[in-house]
Amino acid sequence: MSTLSYPSDRFPAPPAVSIDVPDTWEAVSAPAVALAAKQIEVNADFTPNVIIRLGTRPENDQPADALMELRGSVDQRPQAEVGEIRAVQIGEQEFHRVDVSWLDPQFGTIRQIHAFASLPREDALQDFVHVTGSCGGAGVDADVPVVEQVIASTRITR
């Protein structure tokens, strides 16, 4: 009988991810999210936040595949807009960024910044890091630069 274990060479742990947040933000826990933070002061209409999800994808998946999945979840929202995907450098890692927005009946305009990074592995998979920054409501225009700054601080290590 063989013993399999995680993490191991055959089943590696996901990469480590860190971000820098303003002193006015705090860490929060959320299901299926590796790391999350939000503004401490809760806005009446929408509180800005950043979440990071980690996973694996097939080695031949491209940023367009992730964009197609994102588009599928956003397109059904009222007045949805999905921007063009573009390569961006965040620290030492290449990411692909997509900006989306929609009109929420409760919060008004919601804007999200999605940044995807793929890290090749040796087992026909790639580690996948998905950073999402969200802001909305009356403070959306003021909150976007703060969310972008947090996303720009993303660091991935193995």
For residues 66 and 96, the answer to whether their CB atoms sit within 8 Å is: yes
> How many Å apart are CA 152 and CA 47, to the nearest integer?
19
Domains present along the chain, CATH in parentheses: 26-157 (3.40.1000.10)
Assessment of whether the complete model's pTM goes beyond 0.85: yes
**Tens-binned pLDDT, residue by residue, of the chain (158 aa):** 999 999 998 899 999 999 999 999 999 999 999 999 999 999 889 999 999 999 999 999 999 999 999 999 999 999 999 999 999 999 999 999 999 999 999 899 999 999 999 999 989 999 999 999 999 999 999 999 999 999 999 999 98
